Amino acid sequence: MSAIEAIILGIIQGLTEFLPVSSSGHLELGKAILGDKSLPEESLLFTVVLHFATALSTVVIFRKEILEIIVGLLQFKWNEQTEFSLKIILSMVPAALIGVLFNDQIEALFSRQIILVGTMLILTGLLLFLADRAKNTDKPVTYKSAILIGIAQAIAILPGISRSGATISTSVLLGIDRERAARFSFLMVVPLILGKMAKDLLDGGIAESQMDILPLILGAVAAFVSGLVACQWMISLVKKSQLKYFSFYCLIVGGVAIAISL
């Protein structure tokens, strides 16, 4: 993988992790367009590094909220922050179970399955369109809604379904305040990404990679910087009810991806 390709894929990851257009789907499309010939171990290592970079950008943006959660947990006090952290944990359970029980089947779907990616992008577009038309309310995240949002996140493991799009749309359709929906969606993915990284490292597949360090660094920096921009931009867009534009984008890209693959 060249340095330019690494930067392009890093920008794609950083932007699409937060914008509701599917980071996994766009990474697969990007690799296919660029003609990436990386070995499976190299591709996995690169993907893990990019996900870590975007998780780090989330930590930077929400550092105040994350610090408050950590302090609340360390003090063993039941307050708003500890209750919020429990909801985050609940939301992680469905995706964690799917990841553990069906890991091999899921990884098989990330092998340039462009028709599947296109179909799931269309599904994402329809979900975003419905969410954009939903009535804006000021409901908080409840324990029940946290589990339902977590189920949406688990479904979004499929390449082409946007994780942020699925979780934010589900939150909005449940009547949760739009800004709260966006913040909850972005915070709930941090422990999940770190957990997935730990699993990949323990499995040993990454250790076999001989990928050059320069593309990894360039891709990570590109993903981190673009992630900072996209995360803040997305919060603003959700508040302004402008998800329909991403809906149209997903429908178009999904349709083009299917047409090219046929």
Q: For position 151, what pLDDT does the model report?
A: 93
Q: For position 100, what pLDDT does the model report?
A: 75
Q: For position 31, what pLDDT does the model report?
A: 72
Please give the distance of CA 147 from its chain centroid, rounded to a whole number: 17
Q: What angle, rounded to 10 degrees, do the helices at 178-203 and 163-173 form?
A: 140
Cα–Cα dist 164/206, whole Å? 26
53, 221 contact by CB (below 8 A): yes
Q: For position 40, what pLDDT does the model report?
A: 46
What the block records as the tokens of 191 is: 């422990």
Q: For position 66, what pLDDT does the model report?
A: 83
Confidence at 241, pLDDT banded by 50, 70, 90: low
> What does the mean pLDDT of the chain come to?
81
Q: Which residue has the higher pLDDT, 199 or 50?
A: 50
Q: Is the pTM of this model over 0.85?
A: no
140: which DSSP letter?
Answer: P
Give per-residue pLDDT as tens, 53-76: 988 998 898 888 888 777 777 777
What the block records as the tokens of 123 is: 């599904």
85-93 average pLDDT score: 87
184-190 average pLDDT score: 83
Q: For position 81, what pLDDT does the model report?
A: 74
240-245 average pLDDT score: 77
Q: Closest Cα partner for 156 from 91, 206, 239, 203? A: 91
Q: For position 145, what pLDDT does the model report?
A: 92
The number of distinct structural domains making up the chain is 1
Range of the domain at 144: 3-261
164-168 average pLDDT score: 87
Confidence at 108, pLDDT banded by 50, 70, 90: low
103-114 average pLDDT score: 67
Beta strands in the chain (DSSP E): none
106-133 average pLDDT score: 80
Q: Closest Cα partner for 62 from 234, 197, 217? A: 234
Q: For position 113, what pLDDT does the model report?
A: 73
Give per-residue pLDDT as tens, 216-233: 899 999 999 999 998 888
Q: Percent of the chain having pLDDT more than 90?
A: 11
32-39 average pLDDT score: 65
Residue 207 pLDDT > 60, yes or no? no
Measured from the Cβ of residue 195, the count of other Cβ atoms closer than 10 Å reads: 15
Q: For position 161, what pLDDT does the model report?
A: 84
Cα–Cα dist 156/234, whole Å? 18
What the block records as the tokens of 180 is: 């709260």
